[in-house]
A = this chain, B = another copy of it.
Amino acid sequence: MRLSKLVGERVKEAPNGASLKSHILLLRAGFIKQVSAGIFTLMPPAQRVSKKIQNIIREEMDAIGGQEVLFPVVMPRELWEMSGRYHSINDEMVRFKDRTGHDMVLGMTHEEASVHMALNTVKSYEQLPFMVYQIQTKFRDEPRSRGGLIRVREFTMKDAYSFHTTQEDLENYYQKAYDAYVRIYKRIGFKNFITVKSDNGMMGGKVADEFMAVTPAGEDKLVICSHCDYRSNMEVAESVKDENDHTVAGQMEEVFTGNAHTIEEVCTFLETDAKHSVKAVCYQTLDEKLVVAFIRGDYEVNEIKLSHLVQSNLYPVDVEQRGLCAGNIGCINLNLPEGSFVFYDTTIKGLENFVTGANKPDFHIKNVSASRDMAGVDFVDISLVKEGEKCVHCGQPLTLNRGIEIGNIFQLSTKYTESMGLKISMPDGTVKEPIMGCYGIGVGRSLASIIEEKADDKGLVWPMTIAPWQVHLCPIRIDDDNVKAITEELYRTLQKEKIEVLYDDRNLSAGIKLTDSELMGVPLRIVVSPKTLANNEAEVTIRATGEKLFVPLAELLSELKDMIAGEIEEIEKDL
């Protein structure tokens, strides 16, 4: 590819509104162009990277027996009514009427389509297990698209669906898919990714793992044990809480706290540490039942765990309307409307001498004792894990990190096969619904996440396995006949040898050309100039390390081949 004809322009300035490294660099290097919020055109270099990522995914899916299919983007309402998701999914799913007035949706995911495909075409246990996958465009109307390709509305996704006769068979296959995912991310070039247990949200089923690129740019909070292999999404993370100190409790006593309402205000007013306080956090369920969560003052409520306990999403509530005293709610002598939920976090267990609301204006109670004054209470885990708490598996301290979800795998049970009526005949003559697994990877998000891991101050840095080109051929002083002739000859040779080469054939200054090459991040750069030619050599620079070497022209081709093969080998060595 001649750079002079490559569509796209490289620019110096970080564009307005872009804050993430990957977003800024993809725009600056001419890899993407925004068409609308969360909707991008992939320009030629990005599409080259995307296709390489897709090919890696395809090879690994094929290697675990995947059969590639293509499900439709547009589906009829009926398909999504069978599973119940036409109504349970909110505005994230685009709906429209076709010209005949029929309700259609844009597929966000294809569990329904995969079961539909199997209906009437898969009938016997002998056809199981199987896995189908597709690489296809999806549209999700995200309320907050952000960060270039990190959180978009339209994206290319690999989604896979497996069908099994038994839970054991699913679990075996799930492990295979897990291993395939590890190989995929390694081959893409990720060094810093982990898997975490996760909440499976709208998918149904019980077991789910998320693959996370660990990076400060991530929007997911991760809890990681650096000692054992415990890793979890904050949403479902567990920890051993510090034991509360066993001081003897004093006498319970109401104290005036006036306008002090937040736990910080109350503790400051009473000169108490937040560790000796219990606060109430209130919500309501979808059917407007009040939910009150008591938790130690220095902890935050894990809303995902709480929502599982009440089996509903959680919504804000006006507690005064429910007869409670906002800012003074406490766990002693609380009267709740009938049908309310109340939960006490494990951080309160054994806590002595703490402050909590008095359930009336201007007063709190001090010297409360959990063991003495809350007899019979069940404590449940509804708190977010904190840095430094102990791992439930090995007792070592936990660390908090951030990550970008680059893939996920789910055990789905029979949610879709049951609701859509897919039955297969078993060897004993009975029929049963297959058990499903599903497996997703966002191609564009993986592309952006590898940038977050690899890119540096100068620009993009592509691993050899997914680089848009392997070699950036960069003559300096192309107006020099000798430079031009030798570079053109090199360009032809490299193409003939199937080395992917981006050739900067522009007659521009060394400064512009070298800066552009660093911005675009092709792994190997060859500089040919009057100076290098005086020694009959070319300068080869490794983009990732900045290492430079001077290679005699006669050895350049074989040296490049070795370097390319060497980089790929390095990336793929532990598969």
Interface on A for B, CB 8 Å cutoff? 1, 4-9, 30, 33, 35-36, 39-44, 46-48, 50-51, 65, 67-76, 79, 91-92, 94-96, 98-99, 102, 104, 106, 113, 116-118, 120-123, 126-127, 129-130, 132, 134, 136-137, 139, 141, 143, 153-154, 156
Contact = CB atoms under 8 A, between A and B. Distances in A.
Contact of A95 (B6, B96, B117, B153): B96
A507 to B, nearest CB: 10
Given A44-B132, A99-B91, A70 B156 contact: yes
A237 to B, nearest CB: 31
A488 to B, nearest CB: 17
A447 B330 CA distance: 70
A120 B13 CA distance: 14
Given A67-B1, A116-B41, A121-B8, A35 B98 contact: no
Contacts of A33: 116-117, 121
A117 B65 contact: no
Given A30-B121, A95-B96, A141-B98, A44 B73 contact: no
Contacts of A7: 67, 69, 117-118, 121-122, 127, 130, 132
Contacts of A118: 7
Task: Count identical subunits in the complex.
Answer: 2
Given A47-B70, A136-B137, 15 more contacts: A1-B67, A4-B126, A33-B116, A36-B72, A36-B102, A39-B74, A40-B72, A41-B113, A41-B117, A44-B132, A46-B70, A70-B156, A74-B154, A91-B99, A137-B137
B70 A73 contact: no
30 contacts: A5-B65, A5-B130, A6-B67, A7-B130, A8-B121, A9-B122, A30-B121, A33-B116, A33-B117, A35-B76, A36-B74, A36-B75, A36-B104, A39-B75, A41-B69, A41-B113, A41-B116, A41-B117, A43-B121, A44-B67, A47-B69, A73-B73, A73-B154, A74-B106, A74-B139, A74-B154, A98-B141, A98-B153, A99-B141, A99-B143
Contacts of A69: 7, 41-44, 47
Contact of A41 (B5, B30, B71): B71
A55 to B, nearest CB: 11
Contacts of A8: 121
A72 B39 contact: yes
In the A-B complex, the 3 residue pairs with the closest CB atoms: A96-B96, A44-B67, A42-B70
A47 B68 contact: yes
Contacts of A36: 72, 74-76, 102, 104
Contacts of A143: 99
Contacts of A71: 35, 41
Contacts of A35: 71-72, 75-76, 79, 113, 116
A499 to B, nearest CB: 15
Contacts of A98: 94, 141, 153
Contacts of A41: 69-72, 113, 116-117
Nearest to A93: B99
Residue of A96, A113, A116, A136 ringed by the most chain B CB atoms within 10 A: A96
A148 to B, nearest CB: 14
Contacts of A70: 41-42, 46-47, 50, 156
A154 B72 contact: yes
